[in-house]
Amino acid sequence: MRVATWNVNSIRARVGRVVDWLVREDVDVLAMQEIKCKESQFPFEAFQEAGYDVVLHGLNQWNGVAFASRLPMEDVANTFTGMPGFGKELADGSLPQEARALGVTVDGVRLWSLYVPNGRALGDPHYEYKLTWLRELATQTAAWMSAHPTQPLALMGDWNIAPLDSDVWDIGVFAESTHVSVPERAAFAEFERIGLADVVRPLVPTGYTYWDYKQLRFPRNEGMRIDFVMGSQPFADLVTDARIDRNERKGDAPSDHVPVVVDLDLDLSAELATDDDDRPMIFG
């Protein structure tokens, strides 16, 4: 099974590119972020004609997450328990929920499409929202893993965090910026503490997943690595290959992010974990 995650930066502006890519690259399941539309606006037809079903969570022109899959999707969840909201307080005292998390199960593998809040600036209310959102996600993920210790799980998406200095083109430029701050990196590390790991990094040690549209960032290769597939041990045991499709930043009307692809061999789950010489070592 080939799975991928891609912040598409508006599916309506990019549907042709995305569907062409799915078919050309033989992808089974794609987690999308920033679809920037609600269900009534989603271009279902193009996906269906290519053999993909779509489930999505979109409330308005901001954020929005979706899955396209040519395998059956089950147990769809359009939020995680306790997900914080953001914005102007509602009549009941709560904050508006945003469309940033969507979970599905495909062939027994639990997958989430996540669009982590940007944070905007250090000290901005959105920055605290980002940290709280991540903390709650980690808490809920740990609880789920305790209840499903053997089921493969991956949190896929735009994490809006660069965990390593080498994940940005010039760490000096980011001295007072979001995405690289100590609290954000600590929030990311919490997912490693509860038993998830970046399953792509061991196979693709270098490379960015995002380049700003401005200032010739892509031609100069001034990018950021902020899109990750964080898998549990049972998920990592299935991984046979991974890649970052840098070509998707080229050509007409690209997203500012590119797809991150992971290949799984579901037959491996039935095998003993001893003779795994062909598989990459992901957990230490």
Partner DNA sequence: ATGGCCCCGGATCGGGGA
The residue ranges that bind DNA (CB under 7 A) are 7, 9-10, 12-13, 34, 36-37, 41, 60-62, 117-118, 120, 126, 158, 160, 178-179, 210, 212-216, 218-219, 221, 224, 226, 249-251, 253, 256-257
Both tokens of 177, joined, read: 């910026």
118 three-state secondary structure: coil
* Cβ neighbours, 10 Å, residue 147: 8
256 labelled as ligand-binding?
Answer: yes
Query: What is the smallest separation between the CB atom of 229 and DNA, expressed in angstroms?
Result: 17
Q: How far apart are the first and last CA of the chain?
A: 24
158 labelled as ligand-binding?
Answer: yes
The residue (of 24 and 214) whose beta carbon lies closer to DNA is 214
**Active-site residue among 158, 198, 227, 263?**
158
User: Measured on CA atoms in the order 77, 80, 81, 84, is the torsion positive or negative?
Assistant: negative
Distance CA 176, CA 178 (A): 7
Which helix (H) or strand (E) is 23 found in, with range? helix 15-24
Work out the angle at residue 149's Cα, subtended by the Cα atoms of residues 144 and 152, and round it to the nearest 5 degrees: 85
Query: What is the smallest separation between the CB atom of 212 and DNA, expressed in angstroms?
Result: 6
Beta strands in 17-125 (DSSP E): 29-33, 53-57, 65-69, 74-77, 101-106, 109-115
Q: What is the DSSP letter of 218?
A: T
The residue (of 5 and 160) whose beta carbon lies closer to DNA is 160
127 assigned to active site: no
Query: What is the smallest separation between the CB atom of 46 and DNA, expressed in angstroms?
Result: 14
**Active-site residue among 52, 115, 208, 210?**
115
92 labelled as ligand-binding?
Answer: no
The residue (of 125 and 149) whose beta carbon lies closer to DNA is 125
Beta strands in 126-258 (DSSP E): 153-158, 196-198, 227-232, 239-244
The amino acid sitting at 42 is F
The residue (of 74 and 212) whose beta carbon lies closer to DNA is 212
C-alpha pair distances (Å), 161 with each of 75, 117, 132, 180, 209: 28, 10, 14, 6, 12
126 labelled as ligand-binding?
Answer: no
148 assigned to active site: no
The length of the chain in residues reads: 284
- Do residues 176 and 122 touch, judged by C-beta distance below 8 A? yes
34 labelled as ligand-binding?
Answer: yes
28 assigned to active site: no
The residue (of 61 and 94) whose beta carbon lies closer to DNA is 61
Query: What is the smallest separation between the CB atom of 29 and DNA, expressed in angstroms?
Result: 21
Query: What is the smallest separation between the CB atom of 269 and DNA, expressed in angstroms?
Result: 33
Task: List the catalytic residues.
Answer: 115, 158, 257
As annotated, the binding site for Mg(2+) includes: 7, 34, 158, 160, 256-257
